[in-house]
Amino acid sequence: MSAVDAGGADAGTARILEATPEAISEAADLLKQGRLVAFPTETVYGLGAAANQPAAVKRLFETKGRPADHPVIVHLGDASWLSAWAAEPPYAARQLAEAFWPGPLTLVLRRAEGVPDEVTGGAHTVGLRMPDHPVALALLRSFGNAVAAPSANRFGRISPTRAEHVAFDLGTDVDLILDGGPCQVGVESTIIDLSSGTPRLLRPGGVPLEAVEQLLGTRVGSAMDSTRDDAPRAPGTLPSHYAPSTITVAVPRATLADVAQVDDAVLAFGSDPTQGRATIVLPGDAVAAARGLYDALRRLDAAAATRILIEIPPDEPQWRTVRDRIFRAAAVR
Ligand code: TXA
Ligand code: MG
């Protein structure tokens, strides 16, 4: 199936380069010129712009179709860059950065003076992370400054975990796509807000919440409540995100076989509970399932099914992030 048939951008002319040292150095030059570069991280592909160039960040928001008051994560090439972007980071921030950077953890901190409003959406805080991917780190260091990068998809859609996904979504709207192969984590970073007295989880992600709590020696409160499948899900109350275009329904494993119709696309975990009706079966291990989740959602979305049915994985800590993304993909839109 061609990209255009499935409603993506015109992928034919997107510029994708294998992430060689030459391509990375060209990408760094493009960033210096205020252009947009998509690059791999360990979580998902990012759409990067020079974080210190407000006009470049503005273009980033326009390309993504993202509301201007929605802040973007600033990517650092080294933990020592943190002090240029955050004002008096608390001890907990140093501890977490030391333990989890480079890695899939974003820290929301009070912003340093001079951090552009375009980056923070006008907020007094800034989200910072150091990605654990050789291409991302080489790009950041070659550019020599921080890179603002949301996931390289259109706003509200499924995040890209392969260079082809970026090309499909953004086509020629991005100046260069660095291809570093499939992302190893496959879901976005965990976001912890440390800007007020008590740490709060803003988004579950690649670093388990329990690992953060263990390091800080304290419970981390949650600002989201979407991992409870017994919670009422009235229309419009769940923020829709990571969403396929096809109507998507989250279904308990026990009823998947009853609910599935012939023209549904079905995603299951571990094994197929529907006697052969599952379209894709991802591994029953939560880390491996997260790695394949977005690619699977994209394939199911391209299958021209009436609905996408997704099995709800167990209500256990290791499934927190996958469950969160499933509930958002299936939120009533
Ligand atoms: O894994 C990731 O974090 C990926 C890769 C590319 O690094 N990036 C990513 O960015 O997921 P994005 O823009 O798709 O999601 C950023 C999230 C948003 O939910 C935004 O609200 C939150 O981070 N965020 C960023 N800065 C923030 C701030 N100052 N305060 C609160 N939330 C913030
Ligand atoms: Mg995103």
| Per-residue confidence (pLDDT) for residue 247, from 0 to 100 | 95
Distance from the CA of 244 to the center of ligand 2, in angstroms? Answer: 13
User: Rounded to an integer, what distance in angstroms lies between the CA atom of residue 113 and that of residue 111?
Assistant: 7
Encoding tokens for residue 220?
């981390």
Residue 274 Cβ < 6 Å to ligand 1: no
Which atom, in ligand 1's list, is nearest to the CA of 187? Answer: 1
Here the contacts of 27-34 (C-beta below 8 Å, separation 24 or greater) are 27/139, 27/142, 27/143, 27/176, 27/178, 28/139, 28/142, 28/143, 28/144, 30/175, 30/176, 31/56, 31/139, 31/143, 31/147, 32/143, 34/59
**Ligand 2 centroid vs 60 CA: distance in angstroms?**
13
Q: Is the CB of 161 under 6 A from ligand 1?
A: no
| pLDDT attached to residue 191 | 97
- Specify burial of residue 252 (Cβ count, 10 A radius: 0-12, 13-18, 19+): exposed
- Give me the pLDDT at residue 2, please: 38
Largest CA distance in the chain: 59
Ligand 1 contact, 109 CB (< 6 A): no
Show the 3-state SS of 55-105. Answer: HHHHHHHHHHCCCCCCCCEEECCCHHHHHHHECCCCHHHHHHHHHHCCCCE
pLDDT of 224 reads 58
Measured at the CA of 325, the angle between CA 302 and CA 200, to 5 degrees, comes to: 155
Site to substitute for ligand 1 among 170, 188, 241, most atoms within 8 A of C-beta: 188
Ligand showing the shortest atom-to-Cα distance for residue 154: 2
Please give the single-letter amino acid code of residue 23.
A
Query: How remote is the CA of residue 246 from the centroid of ligand 1, in Å?
Result: 25
Which residues, 6+ apart, have CB-to-CB distance to 140 below 8 Å? Answer: 75, 76, 77, 131, 146, 147
Q: Is 41 in the pocket of ligand 1 (CB under 6 A)?
A: yes
Contact yes or no for 251/259 (Cβ under 8 A): yes
Integer Cα distance of 19 and 239 in angstroms: 35
Is 10 buried (19+), middle (13-18) or exposed (0-12) by CB count in 10 A? middle
Tens digit of each residue's pLDDT, the chain (333 residues): 333 344 466 555 789 999 999 999 999 999 999 999 999 999 999 999 999 999 999 999 999 998 888 899 999 999 999 999 999 999 999 999 999 999 999 999 999 999 999 999 999 999 999 999 999 999 999 999 999 999 999 988 999 999 999 999 999 999 999 999 999 999 999 999 999 989 999 999 999 999 999 999 999 998 754 344 433 333 333 467 788 999 999 999 999 999 999 999 999 999 999 989 999 999 999 999 999 999 999 999 999 999 999 999 999 999 999 999 999 999 765
